[in-house]
Amino acid sequence: MCQNYVGYYRVSTEKQGKSGLGLEAQQTAVEAFIANKGDADAKLVASFTEVESGKRSDNRPELTKALEHARLTGATLLIAKLDRLSRDAHFLLGLQKAGAAPASTSGPSVRPDQCDRFSTGSRPNGMRGT
């Protein structure tokens, strides 16, 4: 089964964006994830890059384009790490409510059955806070 992905990469500062700091690592992680899926037909169909603070989720035009492209093509939005998408639980819950559940190459993905835990502070059985 062929799985298509839309990559989304974000750095927080202009300096990081110009230097490539962080962007190359994110791109490498996304490419490696797809290559290691075990599906020879899996491919990255588009990618979007944004230079914007993770604290601001109200002005993310490249993320909007990435989500729309994924929706229109039936692809999965793929991010290197969840914090590259946002650290704002309300924003992540909004994505889940909109039917967008991005996949992450490392760590948790935004799954509909767990997204509310980001905002309520509850944890799955067996997980304790530090």
What's the pLDDT score for residue 88?
A: 75
How far apart CA 16 and CA 3 sit, in angstroms, is: 31
Average pLDDT (27-45) is 91
Closest by CA position to 102, among listed 1, 5, 2: 5
The residue behind tokens 């989304």 is: 8
If you average pLDDT over every residue of the chain, what do you get? 76
Q: Can you give the pTM of this predicted structure?
A: 0.74
Structure tokens at 21: 């700091």
Q: What's residue 86's pLDDT?
A: 75
**CATH number for the domain whose boundaries are 4-120:** 3.40.50.1390
pLDDT at 125: 41
Domain residue spans in the chain?
A: 4-120
Q: Does the pLDDT at position 45 exceed 90? A: yes
